Structure 1
């Protein structure tokens, strides 16, 4: 058999149910939201169809009644395309309404959201956090919390752009498509979502800035605290407390000034200390890469080696043995 990209594991499912309790159970099982039927005909039926490709899902959901939803966090990003009906969404003080033809998100992935819908037919696309950070060119561990300036698209052109991307992803044959095809579709969906919904991953906006302001003296305190405590366990809260600011404001200040996050700044400084120690060490005295990596906070030597090579262009063992 010829070698090629592995076949992706994907699945499809379809179901229809009637009755308020059954519909609430169906939707709650499909999404990390709590649903309450407010008004619906006794024998009304809801239908649900899912195309699950692993890194993204495309659903078609029909709910012939009035529905209320709420959640503390959705985790990934859900993008809804309203084919019929009306939807009202609220998150972190942002409130938007969308009618048939419009596109929306319930809210920020890690914030409480509230929503209401009325006799809707929706195409819902779910994307994993990993896909979103990769599409934005960020490292998952260093990415800030994803924030949006609005919960609906700004124009019909944006709606059309999203519709084309979602329809293409939904049209990928569920059987025998390769992982490369799935990954390309997931990346296309993520890039499109981050394009049509202004956000802090790809286009920082004053509306998305954290509350509070960090001036140069406060930022200098944070940097000094990090340098003095580089060998100790330090959290973002510790840095903010030492600097006299908030964690979110500190994140924004580091991103604006150093193009990184406070924790990434700390990790880079630890890498530099490890580099200095390896350069001065003598392998004959028992110093190993694993020992130095553990000393500076890396429990996984492979990850340390990857980060070290990315930062300095050589492996840590090469530095130790040079």
Structure 2
């Protein structure tokens, strides 16, 4: 869903806009050529901005209150003050942590076209709750560059999907489970891409409490709330055990993860919706998949075929496998 669309050749107007859209800042640039364009799309609590500056725009800004990623398409960005005054230079193809949520930032945008992706740091903590070895503290990113080219490429693809897939389709961007899944995919991609603090091992108490009754209560909670935005932390809180206990219970008794089981339940609901749909009506496979949080149609179709022996489209047309 588009939230902002700004275009100006006035440096003062641009500074005022950027201060409203991001945080209070001072900017500078060549007064002879100062065209700036900014547009923003929003997916749940995540914003994906497209920015283009036709001049070298210097900026000195306060804290954002959100984690901010940069993704450069053309030109270059010189970024200062991360993590401790270290300067960074980023060009086309680079994806990086522009600024943590609690630090000021400064730099120069050198005739660049790029994305800024912003989100609440709690999204990382929530996503990390499902990771083996999760620390109980809030998760922090401790490096600004990806740990590998493959991780960087995956993160760029995730950003592109948010921008060109979910944001570009009003119907998809209004599906709560799809928005949740897309946001969690972004958070997981960020945790894979950048060094962070989210690791520890399960305790003896976690292993002791991961018995069959814990699994039964977790399964019942998931079954009853599969149409809602769920994380491992939500499931653990609902049945009054630790996140690691829930993870160990699912691995020990079902050889899967809590989120893996949730996907199976949602796939079953999607199957039921397709079976019940009138093949001559307006129901589509894409809409059903989105309703149950499956945002990559190819993966949904592959998982569906593995579970039911036919494609989702065949089920919709035939009203049953």
TM-score in terms of structure 2 length? 0.56
Partner-residue secondary structure (3-state), 1:40? coil
2:193 to 178, 192, 196: 196
Does structure 1 retain, via aligned residues, the 8 Å contact 2:67–2:101?
A: yes
Does structure 1 retain, via aligned residues, the 8 Å contact 2:68–2:100?
A: no
Partner of 1:114: 106
Does structure 1 retain, via aligned residues, the 8 Å contact 2:139–2:196?
A: no
Does structure 2 retain, via aligned residues, the 8 Å contact 1:69–1:116?
A: yes
Deviation of 1:308 (Å): 8.8
Partner of 1:183: 180
Partner of 1:104: 96
Matched, 1:79 2:74: no
Q: How many residues align?
A: 205
Partner of 1:148: 142
Which runs of 5 or more residues in structure 2 are unaligned?
A: 131-135, 205-233, 246-321
2:16 to 25, 28, 31: 25
Deviation of 1:307 (Å): 7.9
Partner-residue secondary structure (3-state), 2:37? strand
| Cα 1:180/1:145, change in 2 over 3 Å | closer
1:164 to 157, 180, 186: 157
Does structure 2 retain, via aligned residues, the 8 Å contact 1:84–1:99?
A: yes
Deviation of 1:154 (Å): 4.6
Distance 1:195 1:309 in 2: 28
What are the Cα deviations for residues 96-119 of structure 1, in whole angstroms up to 9, with x where unaligned? Answer: 211111111123222233322211
Partner-residue secondary structure (3-state), 1:310? coil
Deviation of 1:70 (Å): 3.2
Distance 1:154 1:86 in 2: 21
| Cα 1:43/1:85, change in 2 over 3 Å | closer
TM-score in terms of structure 1 length? 0.55
Distance 1:70 1:170 in 2: 27
Which runs of 5 or more residues in structure 1 are unaligned?
A: 1-9, 203-254, 260-302, 314-322
| Cα 1:160/1:147, change in 2 over 3 Å | closer
What are the Cα deviations for residues 58-104 of structure 1, in whole angstroms up to 9, with x where unaligned? Answer: 11000122223334432221111111111122223233211111111
Decide which structure has the larger Cα Rg and report it: 1
What are the Cα deviations for residues 240-285 of structure 1, in whole angstroms up to 9, with x where unaligned? Answer: xxxxxxxxxxxxxxx79989xxxxxxxxxxxxxxxxxxxxxxxxxx
Deviation of 1:155 (Å): 4.5
Does structure 2 retain, via aligned residues, the 8 Å contact 1:63–1:120?
A: yes
Q: CA RMSD in A?
A: 3.3
Distance 2:103 2:3 in 1: 29
Does structure 1 retain, via aligned residues, the 8 Å contact 2:141–2:194?
A: no
Partner of 1:65: 55
Does structure 2 retain, via aligned residues, the 8 Å contact 1:48–1:59?
A: yes
Distance 2:241 2:202 in 1: 22
Partner of 1:310: 241
| Cα 1:155/1:65, change in 2 over 3 Å | farther
Does structure 2 retain, via aligned residues, the 8 Å contact 1:88–1:115?
A: yes
| Cα 1:201/1:65, change in 2 over 3 Å | farther
